[in-house]
Chains A and B, each alone.
Chain A
Amino acid sequence: MKKVLLVALFLCANVFAAPQIGDNVTDFKLPNLYNLNQELSSTDFKGNVILLNLWASWCGGCKEEMPLFVELQEEFKESNFKILLSSIDKDPQSAISFLNGVDQNRVLNSFYDKEKTLPKAYKCMGMPSSYLIDANGKLVDIFIGSIDEDSLAKLKIKIKSLLGK
């Protein structure tokens, strides 16, 4: 009886647990925001340090931090660091219109997650949320809420240490 309960508890806890720092992240395939017929996979970016950002054009904080991400990607463009955006907008055009204003050179890799699979998988606690993933696919840090200048400085230090710089 006790064993059954323990197993049930363990199962329930696992089913509802959010990915923790140190966990291996699962691979995903989603359409390219700029070309919905083309599917992008997270495996295309294997071996890179990744900042996965879950965002939407209706979220003020998400729009606020986007110029910082463009700058960050520009700064690390020569290294194995990639920012992956995943928009959960109902209408992909609103996300594209916003990004066209901020990221004219399209330096940020953009996925389109209509079904909100990533926020559901990551048990996203707030919008925006960013996940720093190392080159081996391990979750290194979680940022809930928009990234400001202070947290950006800390993030840069972490990225540099992951890149071995």
Chain B
Amino acid sequence: MYKIILILSALVLSGCSDRLVRVMPYEKEYFAQEKMSLSPIAERAEQEGHIFLIREASAGGESAFQGGCGCR
């Protein structure tokens, strides 16, 4: 009997776990707010990017296209 209860609980919980852990797409209203972005101030993000490029000598290193080696 205990086995059945255990298996049933495991099944039900595994079904629910996705909901418990994941934020569903329709629940992302607060995440969509500007203040939640990693760089909420666009001007500052641009400046930070520029400093990053100088410091790392890696023009284009922030994108997936070319760069990163500093040899461009």
Q: Which residues of A contact B (CB under 8 A)?
A: 1, 4-5, 8-9, 12, 15-16, 54, 56, 58-60, 88-90, 116, 119-120, 124-127
Residue numbers in A under 8 Å from B29 (CB-CB): 56, 58, 88-90
**How many interface residues does B have (CB within 8 Å)?**
14
Q: Are B26 and A8 in contact (CB under 8 A)?
A: no
Interface residues in B10-66 (C-beta closer than 8 Å to A): 11-12, 15, 24-29, 32-33
Closest chain B residue to A94 by CB distance? Answer: B29
B69: CB under 8 A from chain A? no
CA separation between A90 and B28, bound complex, in Å? Answer: 11
Q: List B residues at the A interface (Cβ < 8 Å).
A: 4, 7-8, 11-12, 15, 24-29, 32-33
B15 touches A59 (CB 8 A): no
> What residue in chain A is nearest B4 (Cβ atoms)?
A4
Which residues on the B side are within 8 Å of A59 (C-beta)? 32
Measured between alpha carbons, how far is A126 from B32 in the docked complex, in Å?
14
